[in-house]
Structure 1
Amino acid sequence: MDKKILEIFDKSIVDNDISHDLYSTYNVKKGLRNEDGTGVLIGLTRIADVVGYQKLENGTKIDAEGELYYRGIELADLLKQVESEQVDGFERTCFLILFGYLPNKAELDLFKHELQQGYELPKDFLTTNILKRPSNSIMNELQKDLLNLYNEDEKADDTSVTNTLKQGLSIIAKLPEMMIYSYQAKAHFIDNKSLMIHPVNKDYGIAENILHLLRPDSHFTKEEAKILDLLLIMHADHGSGNNSTFSNLVVASTGTDIYSAFSASIGSLKGPRHGGANITCKQMMDTIIAEIGEDASDDEINTIITRLHQKDFFDKQGLIYGFGHAVYTLSDPRCILLKDQARELALACGETKRLAFYERFEELVVSYFKVNKGKNICANVDFYSGLIYDMLQIPEDLYSPLFVTSRSVGWLAHNIEEKLYCNRIIRPAGLYVGKKKERIK
């Protein structure tokens, strides 16, 4: 870009400054967030509830242990209810989120059959849309693939709730293939690795198919599949206010097709402040371990924490990835459950030393903010998820796409709920605070 254009741009930033004080003056909520950090209410839902604090009658916000409910069932309780010999907890959770109750065996078999019938990509889709034009970003590739699926759908612009459900289930069924094939294309054509394409297995569930499609020999253990299944369950929904789900609702409210709405959600989820945080957190932890080692003392870890917070280490953004949340304060229930899974997997993989470092780091970060900032902060779902993916031999390129595969059911459920019970274009307002110029005569 021409240097003079940049100079003009820099001057325009100064001339058009919007000070923080103006937000307070006009009671405008930055990021749709209230002064106490809570989210501005943007709708009503019966799908999921995210609890991280309590509010007293006088409006005071009190920090609380985190809870996550899918259709009124608390997450830990749900995991007990979907536990079985089959690796189908995610499918059961999808049914619950979409229809409001856990299925019986006949209903589950019917639902799984519906998904399995939608597994295969359209004829020549792999060669034409994925292998010929690989992307450095699997998330961007998934956006492109979704928009290309639009071209394969004779009723692509039918936004009725029944057709939306049909389209959404087809997308959920195809995401594992699109994700893994896009990764394999990148690995081969961009990273100069061998190209490995396995056909989808219609006898497998979604978690099993992901490992089957990813592994060179298609081999995986039942324990590995069940841990991945658990990760999919934990990411399936998080209320209507999270950024990617809200993006889906905003776009869908215009009356556009589901492929456009889901593509927008993927763009949102890619960001490091949302679904991309698991990758950034894993990279941060790898950098820390490379710097001070897994045997580092608490003092050495505290020094790194201070440097991170003071923008003197890693990406120098002042952020400690994997910590803090828009809703959760004392704990993230997903993180607690994932930590238990990480311990089991670390024992099996011989990674107990690395996990112990993670656990010490978590304790010291929580203590750092409590002592130095007087603030409760907790590890979130991203802190252990990247570690678990790594122990499952899943490459970083797939961390956020796996989030897409899971969260797509939440996007679908909220999309349908909004169509049924609100069905108005989402159109908030912004307040003009600039100066009016004299009319040209």
Structure 2
Amino acid sequence: MQFKLPTTATAPFCPSEVQGSVTVTQSAPFWKKILQFAGPGLLVSIGYMDPGNWATDIEAGSRYGYNLLFVVVLSSLAAMVLQCLSMRLGIVTGRNLAELSRTRYSPGVARIQWLLAELSIIACDLAEVLGGALAFHLLFKCSLTVGVILTAFDTLIVLGLKGKNFRDLEAIMLGLVATIGLGYVIELALVHPHWPSVAAGLVPSWQAVSEREPLYLAIGILGATVMPHNLYLHSSIVQTRAIKRDHDGIASAISLSRIDTIVALFLALLINAAILILAAAAFHSTGHTQVTEIEDAYRLLAPIVGTGFAAVLFAITLLASGQSSTFTGTVAGQVIMEGFLQLKIPCYQRRFITRALALIPALVGVQLLGNGAVGQLLVASQVVLSLQLPFALYPLIRMTNDRALMGEFTNRLPTRIIAWALFVLISAANIWLVVQTFGFAG
């Protein structure tokens, strides 16, 4: 059954209201169909370039140069595989991962899944609060505490989208992503990376992550790249396209959405790689190997690069990153709440609740630890995201492997092997992290 967007819809954040709201012309040429399906992948990719990525990538580049660049690439490739599974699940079943989890698991298990999904959104929103607060601090010279409070007003941005349709939201996201991407193209041109060293950093090396600190950062990069709530989000927003519910229509939608997903996440990969390369070229190569704070990176850019424009551009792209993530966090929150709890509330209320829960640890951290809290909390939030990931991955892989649910669109053997291998790898890395963190090793 297809749903059309009501003229009274409050905003493009409520999943049930925008399902089937984007018209797809079946007879259109291939290039036009690509454009009609472009968008959901872009919204998902926003979560792959939020302020949490900045913290892990800047610290990795500053401390280890280009050595951990391959972790960014492998994490992005893993994200492409997993987001394609999420996309396939939503298109084939017409339901999202949260809805299916509610119906396929016991109420107790589903409630735990919901709590973990909400925790991942709060952790992500904490990164957005800190990133936005730091951007305000850098651009307007206000205190971090004031910057944190200013981020509370992004609820007004959500209210400003009242009456907009889903394609408008996608266009806004495109503009913000373009701002981030253009900013980093200019900054890389200013810092002049050593490209042979960049190429060497793309080669996987166990030695590069054989010690606790680089492995901790690598897991943080993974958590910042593959986000649990994005799996719930993607399985829902791909249903905004009104497709024919026959074999050919579903198969075509999967193929076109796969292109949308891979292209969007490749752009996110380029931006994440650019952040690490910038840090390696500007800081590690000049002997500044302890730049673990975004604010330190901002202050050092101007004297190293030789122009204050680089630092200002850095802060502007940071602000664009935090604001763009705000939109997708709201949509993901609505998907999870509707799917698990069958509860629908106005999107601005959902945004206010999530932001309020993220403001508390942000304000406490800034008050207790000062400016140094930002980097620590950002990296910690990304590790929390990584710890939540297996709990979203397991049901996703099980469902897309279920022939009774997916029919002929179930995962093929190579996909199953890759998906389970990623699950084992991510789970093992998280277990190692917990053991190391709590001092149970050896």
Range into which the TM-score falls when normalised by the shorter chain: under 0.3
Structure with max Cα Rg:
1
Greater percentage in helix: 2
Q: Which one scores higher on RCO, CA 8 angstroms, separation ≥ 6?
A: 2
